[in-house]
Structure 1
Amino acid sequence: MDRLSGLDASFLYLETPAQLMHVCGVIVLDPSTMPGGYGFAAFRDEVDRRVRDLPEFTRRLRKVPLGLDHPIWVHDRHFDIDRHVHRLALPSPGGRAELAELTSHLAGLPLDRSRPLWEMWVIEGYDDGKVVVFMKMHHATVDGVSGSNLLFHLCSLEADQPPIAEPESHERGHEPSQSELLGRALVTTFTRPLNAVRLVTPSAQLVTKTVGRARAGTAMAAPFSAPRTSFNGTITGHRVIALADLDLEEIRHVKNATGTTVNDVVLAIAGGALRAYLLDRDELPSSSLLATVPVSVREESRRSGGANKVSALFAKLGTDTEDPLERLQDMAERNKNAKEHHQAISADSLQDWAEFAAPRTFGLAVRTYAGLKLPEKHPVVHNLVISNVPGPPVPLYFMGARIDGLYPLGPVFHGAGLNITVASNNGQVHVGIIACRESLPDVDDLVDRFPVELATLTAAVGRKKSPASIKQARKKKAASGG
């Protein structure tokens, strides 16, 4: 019996018709590399062959009686690939605008919980003969790292080679009876208070340490300290998607010239893009926007089960800073403090506390929260979510077709209707933005600013402003009272 972890199950409980908890991916393929050429039937059959032995693709949910415990995964004995892989075509001319409109609609459709929680839409007629795969998987099934690992089961390093990762053998075991599920749920219910007691002391110690870091100025940014923007309210189920491409070598050039990291540069680009976007609309807050940045704890976690092994840190994006290099240097310094602070937190703390999410009350609370429009009444927790997913440095082939673009897309939440995810792939950084349509209808204008911000940073680096000279200029400014 494969019970969902509390964190995995939480993504089920958080889901409402407006707050959909699946993650998506736009994969742009060049079918000219496929041995034998592209044909939908052969493509679907090959997908079927590769996913048959992967539990993440062939298991479905089963609820526990009376909702006393988190659901379990069971093998779908009626698994049918035609229920999951679908075929569509873009209207001519089949450019990025048409692709964004179609994928935005697909992203706003919930997954059917009576079947394995994934779908694949094969979209033909894009950009002079290219094929696009739009993939959806529920967050209860994958996080960023496990999603990337699953992709390797579908990809190869050469067009005519087998997948990078062959599926491991898994014993399906027996499907438990209702009485067995009820018995296990009762045991979990009665032992839950004991587990809560064990978490209180380390959590209290963490609070004490955080207060100390805050006094020393080395704590990460605090939640509920974000300014309010037009995309920080109650969301609807409508989605908009926008895509952009950045040159990884150009980002590395900025990184090397400033002594920062790729992640620092990506966050600084996002901060600059958001600053320009809000400034043009006369909506720029006086204080910096605050982003939640998911962090994988897969290597540090002591837990063997569960698909999601993540934590999060909070990062100010420097939208209140005009100078791009100063914004980047501030970002690097704050990120260093945030990482040190985050490392002091148990890798399993979020997963441990998520075990106490009650199926019925959690879902009711989320619906009440949205129904009363509470996200618009309390201080803003965070403005948006930003993820950076490292990808392959070499070309990958999806069912034999070369991957030309790989754009991941995360969920959006009540109170934070914008999600930005970037992924590196074969020398490029692909930017995927998804938002609530009513909160951020002109998402194209935002994504178009990412290449502009990278060019601005590159030009600033070309003027030979080093991190040391930036700090010196800031000290001079402070000394003069400016």
Structure 2
Amino acid sequence: MDRLSGLDASFLYLETPEQLMHVCGLIVLDPTTMPDGYTYEAFKDHLEDRVSDVPEFTRRLRRVPLDLAHPIWVPDQHFDIDHHVHRLALPQPGGYDELVQLCGHLAGLTMDRSRPLWEMWVIEGYQDKVVVFSKMHHATVDGASGSNLISHLCSLEPDAPPVSAGERKEHGRSARGLELFGRGVLSTVTKPLQIPSLLRPSAALVTKTVARARAGTAMAAPFSAPRTSFNGTITRRRTIAFADLPLDEVRALKAATGATVNDVVLTIAGGALRHYLEDRGGLPETPLMASVPVSVRKATQRGNGANKVSALFARLGTDIEDPLQRLEVMSSDNRNAKEHQQAIPADALQDWAEFAAPQTFGLAVRAYAGLRLAEKHPVVHNLVISNVPGPPIPLYFMGARIDALYPLGPVFHGAGVNITVMSNNGQLHVGVIACRSAMRHPEDLVKHFGEELTRLQEAVAAR
């Protein structure tokens, strides 16, 4: 049986009508490269052919009786591409504003859990492009696996087979209700026996963290972030914005300063957030703190599960006006944070997530939202910032060249903004998604990304 890992299942339990746990992507395509030209029906038929033998696209959830254990994946015997791929025309004049308004609306719609947990909306009328707005539930993918999954549907040439041609994945075995119930009971009874093996490394980690904190080499501590306008209880309405940065210019800054690409990205994001909040008279005196997802795919010893991530907390230097000084401070802090994060066992989050109980977890999340507790305790972190590596060469999606791919992650109660950056064929594509009540105009944030890149370049050149 293909049972969800505890971490995958946690994204199901965390979901409420306001806290939606799907990952979105806005893919801008050039249809002129399609060998036979673009038509919606041909596009959909081609897509159906490519996803038909990929389990992530053709499996659905099945609950264990009494929720005694995490759900399992089973093949959808009634899979119908028309339930997942839809066609829309962009309102006139078909520009940036119309596109982000439409995609923001689509991002705020829940997904039907009785079917495979993905959707694609083919949007026509955006300049001379075709746009695909995709949604996949976080129980199915994380940042890295989501990027790989899209790549598996792509080819290196317009008329070439997909990158994954010849590969075939098998669906997990289904099971009868009695077997599911029996395995659920066994899992519930034996789970407490695993606790001692988790407590020992966790206790050692606490001791090491205290030592790092005393030495000043620990990552930023959660619950120590300043409160901002986007740190409260969220609603289901979403706003979206996107921008582009030249990857070669970011790499040139990396080479000139000895920092990493991630350091430069976080420095630019910190500067953009500083100016956004300063413009509104809401810039805190202490620096904002981001939760940064970190892939542990190479280090994990767990074979099952789609989500193989940990996280580190990074201060964004929003209290520092000079961009080069901000980069230097963040580069040093990020080295310490990365060393601290790497000292945490790769499977720690996945192992503890196995104890997430469906009913208890769901009730706790709904109570947390209903009581608006995010506004009453210290801020855990201000936002999520993620940097996902993408393809270094042009890719073709159903024969259409991918001009841009803007990733959009979930937002949470208490952290109503998510910034995700993905590299693609020499560009860094920046996607911002926010709860509408937290950030009504995210374009006022993304417009500062290019400005901050220029400021950092000028500061490096001046030195």
Shorter-normalised TM range: over 0.9
Question: In the superposition, relative to structure 1, how do residues 342 and 167 fare at CA in structure 2: closer, same or farther (>3 Å)?
Answer: farther
Gaps in structure 1 of 5+ consecutive residues: 466-482
User: AA paired with 1:385?
Assistant: V
Q: Counterpart in 1 of 2:286?
A: 287
Q: Deviations over 1:243-291 (max 9, x none)?
A: 1011111111111111111100000000000001111111000100000
Instruction: Report if the CA contact (8 A) 2:312-2:337 is conserved.
Output: yes
Equivalent residue pairs, number: 463
User: AA paired with 1:100?
Assistant: V
Instruction: Report if the CA contact (8 A) 1:389-1:424 is conserved.
Output: yes
Q: Deviations over 1:187-237 (max 9, x none)?
A: 100111011121001000000000000000100110000000010000000
Instruction: Report if the CA contact (8 A) 1:223-1:382 is conserved.
Output: yes
Q: Counterpart in 2 of 1:471?
A: none
Q: Counterpart in 1 of 2:68?
A: 68
Q: Counterpart in 1 of 2:273?
A: 274
Which is worse superposed, 23-32 or 88-97?
88-97
Which is worse superposed, 89-98 or 212-221?
89-98
Matched, 1:7 2:7: yes
Matched, 1:298 2:297: yes
Take 1:312 and 1:110, find their aligned partners in 2: how far apart are those partners? 26
User: AA paired with 1:350?
Assistant: L
Structure 2 counterparts to residues 50-449 of structure 1, below 5 A: 50-127=50-127, 129-166=128-165, 168-172=167-171, 174-449=173-448
Q: Counterpart in 2 of 1:48?
A: 48
Instruction: Report if the CA contact (8 A) 1:54-1:167 is conserved.
Output: no
Take 1:72 and 1:430, find their aligned partners in 2: how far apart are those partners? 34
**Offset at residue 171 of structure 1 (A):** 3.7
Take 2:306 and 2:237, find their aligned partners in 1: how far apart are those partners? 27
Instruction: Report if the CA contact (8 A) 1:33-1:400 is conserved.
Output: yes
SS at match of 2:413: coil
Take 1:348 and 1:210, find their aligned partners in 2: how far apart are those partners? 17
Instruction: Report if the CA contact (8 A) 1:154-1:398 is conserved.
Output: yes
SS at match of 1:291: strand
Instruction: Report if the CA contact (8 A) 2:2-2:172 is conserved.
Output: no
Q: Deviations over 1:445-476 (max 9, x none)?
A: 0011111100111111121x2xxxxxxxxxxx
Which is worse superposed, 214-223 or 158-167?
158-167
**Offset at residue 147 of structure 1 (A):** 0.6
**Offset at residue 174 of structure 1 (A):** 4.5
SS at match of 1:331: helix
SS at match of 2:82: helix
Question: In the superposition, relative to structure 1, how do residues 400 and 293 fare at CA in structure 2: closer, same or farther (>3 Å)?
Answer: same
SS at match of 2:384: strand
SS at match of 1:184: helix
Q: Deviations over 1:34-71 (max 9, x none)?
A: 00100000000010000011000000000000011100
Instruction: Report if the CA contact (8 A) 1:53-1:167 is conserved.
Output: no
**Offset at residue 168 of structure 1 (A):** 3.1
Q: Sequence identity of aligned pairs in percent?
A: 71
Take 1:54 and 1:124, find their aligned partners in 2: how far apart are those partners? 26
Instruction: Report if the CA contact (8 A) 2:73-2:172 is conserved.
Output: no
Question: In the superposition, relative to structure 1, how do residues 172 and 325 fare at CA in structure 2: closer, same or farther (>3 Å)?
Answer: closer
Q: Counterpart in 1 of 2:29?
A: 29
Instruction: Report if the CA contact (8 A) 2:55-2:170 is conserved.
Output: no
Which is worse superposed, 142-151 or 374-383?
142-151
Take 1:95 and 1:346, find their aligned partners in 2: how far apart are those partners? 47
Instruction: Report if the CA contact (8 A) 1:153-1:167 is conserved.
Output: no
User: AA paired with 1:339?
Assistant: K
Take 1:146 and 1:443, find their aligned partners in 2: how far apart are those partners? 27
Gaps in structure 2 of 5+ consecutive residues: none
**Offset at residue 173 of structure 1 (A):** 5.8
**Offset at residue 139 of structure 1 (A):** 0.0
Q: TM-score, normalised by structure 2?
A: 0.99
Q: Counterpart in 2 of 1:478?
A: none
Q: Deviations over 1:78-111 (max 9, x none)?
A: 0000110100010122111110000000000011
SS at match of 1:197: helix
**Offset at residue 169 of structure 1 (A):** 2.8
Take 2:115 and 2:99, find their aligned partners in 1: how far apart are those partners? 27
Instruction: Report if the CA contact (8 A) 2:27-2:405 is conserved.
Output: yes
Take 1:282 and 1:172, find their aligned partners in 2: how far apart are those partners? 54
User: AA paired with 1:98?
Assistant: E
Instruction: Report if the CA contact (8 A) 2:118-2:136 is conserved.
Output: yes
Q: Deviations over 1:107-138 (max 9, x none)?
A: 000110000000000000011x2000000000
Instruction: Report if the CA contact (8 A) 1:22-1:410 is conserved.
Output: yes
Instruction: Report if the CA contact (8 A) 2:389-2:422 is conserved.
Output: yes
SS at match of 1:448: helix
Take 1:278 and 1:45, find their aligned partners in 2: how far apart are those partners? 46
Take 2:117 and 2:258, find their aligned partners in 1: how far apart are those partners? 42
Instruction: Report if the CA contact (8 A) 1:264-1:335 is conserved.
Output: yes
User: AA paired with 1:390?
Assistant: P
Instruction: Report if the CA contact (8 A) 2:34-2:400 is conserved.
Output: yes
Q: Which consecutive aligned stretches of 4+ in structure 1 deviate over 4 angstroms post-superposition?
A: none
Instruction: Report if the CA contact (8 A) 2:2-2:173 is conserved.
Output: no
Instruction: Report if the CA contact (8 A) 2:390-2:424 is conserved.
Output: yes
Q: TM-score, normalised by structure 1?
A: 0.95
Q: Deviations over 1:157-201 (max 9, x none)?
A: 111111112363344464211110000001100111011121001
Question: In the superposition, relative to structure 1, how do residues 111 and 167 fare at CA in structure 2: closer, same or farther (>3 Å)?
Answer: farther
User: AA paired with 2:202?
Assistant: S
Instruction: Report if the CA contact (8 A) 2:20-2:110 is conserved.
Output: yes
